[in-house]
Structure 1
Amino acid sequence: MLLRRALVLGGSTEARLLATRIAADRRLWGVISLAGRTSAPLAHDLPTRVGGFGGVEGLTRYLIEERISHVVDATHPFAARITANARAACAAAGAPLLVLTRPPWVAAPGDRWIEVAGNAAAARALGDSPRRVFLAIGRQGVADFRVAPQHQYFLRVIEAPNAGDLPPSCEVIFGRGPFALEDEIALMRDRRIEIIVTKNSGGALAYAKIEAARALGLDVVMIARPARGDAAMTHDIDAAMAFLFS
């Protein structure tokens, strides 16, 4: 059997799990690519490249030059541009593509969700009256909330955002998950949070804030995932491994 050469577009827990499986399989050669948005990413079990490819043309060239046989897009569910580039590059290079992503969260009894399509809609959903807002969206996109400066924001990030992107009244809280439910409840009580803004990233590791909001009776502005085109998709690591031998 010819050695399969896999490119994993990473940045998610699913990507790390898949990398571990690929590294343990002698029938596979693999590399994982990270966008480089954090200066100290978590370690992976595959050789890792950091930084962009140079758009669709650069990624197409990489796939051809490295003789990549299969591509798994295991980026963050909101990495729409990377997914679009991967879809176009794989089509040009003739490499099959699979999107590996975690299932989105679904509202449970007791949840008070306001579902919106993007950051601009999320900022509008906060309303005109000043509120204490927990922003769990990461540092990218925080500038979109400058249009609603009447609110007090609490932004949790792994790395410092650009100061110019922050709304006028914004406390930056540093932390890398997963976070325990009791810690999320304590944080929201301590900051007297009235409403949460988050992306529907899905998965168990970031779910505690949703449970905390439910326990405290808080509204959650839930930003829906962007469309990821017509690429084949799975939520299952075993299915992703089977794809690499298809």
Structure 2
Amino acid sequence: MNRLDGKVAIVTGAGRGIGRAIAEALHAEGATTIATSRASSDPTFGEIHYAQLDVADEADWRRVVTDVLEVHGHIDILVNNAGIIAYEPLHELTIEDWHNVVATNQTGVWLGMREVVPHMITQGGGSIVNISSIWGSAAVGGAHAYHATKGAVRNMSKNAAITYATQKVRVNSLHPGFIETPLTDSQAPAVNEYVVSQTPMGRAGRPHEIAAGVVFLASDEASFVTGSELVIDGGYLAQ
């Protein structure tokens, strides 16, 4: 408890699933937490603050970051979690679906980092955690745009980590395996069963297990950790 006392955090894609678990975990550890999603309002967050944010919208990012700074004075943690998926292989993928996935999964991460990094530099540091995926490091058939963007997030994080290391802005990526969320619940059961069957621990992960990793990377306990990939996948990528 209280590992993040005095820190201010923004979490994207926090309406449900992994993002919501992350927002709740940061709040439980003492951070003033601003949970965001595309929804116009979410009154169920209780003491966690809420802001509407389309991560692919440059003006939206500027508005949210400006508001957070005006109210709280600083931003210490950014968790770029918002993401969507298209399942089509590359020869069936439409240009519209490609642009939608890239806009949310890749451009959204870039915009978030671009907006907060100058403030983190000015205040003397901060921690950014970008949620990638095991599919940013390995592949299965289909879901071409998702694979492309999650791989991009992996390398974007490394680039930012190296670029801002001397300015004490730490940037790491986190790579979940198969996690039980509303997103995976909406997938074909056969797909879910296959991925779980290929996971050495033999089960799906849970959102709070991902959130625990984010808390570590966001905290001062990870003060010498930047440019790393934290894999939480039940052993999938170890094979």
Q: What TM-score bracket applies, with the shorter chain setting the length? A: 0.3 to 0.5
TM-score (norm 2): 0.45
Quick check: which one's helix share is greater?
2
Structure ID, larger Rg: 1
Quick check: which one's strand share is greater?
1
TM-score (norm 1): 0.44
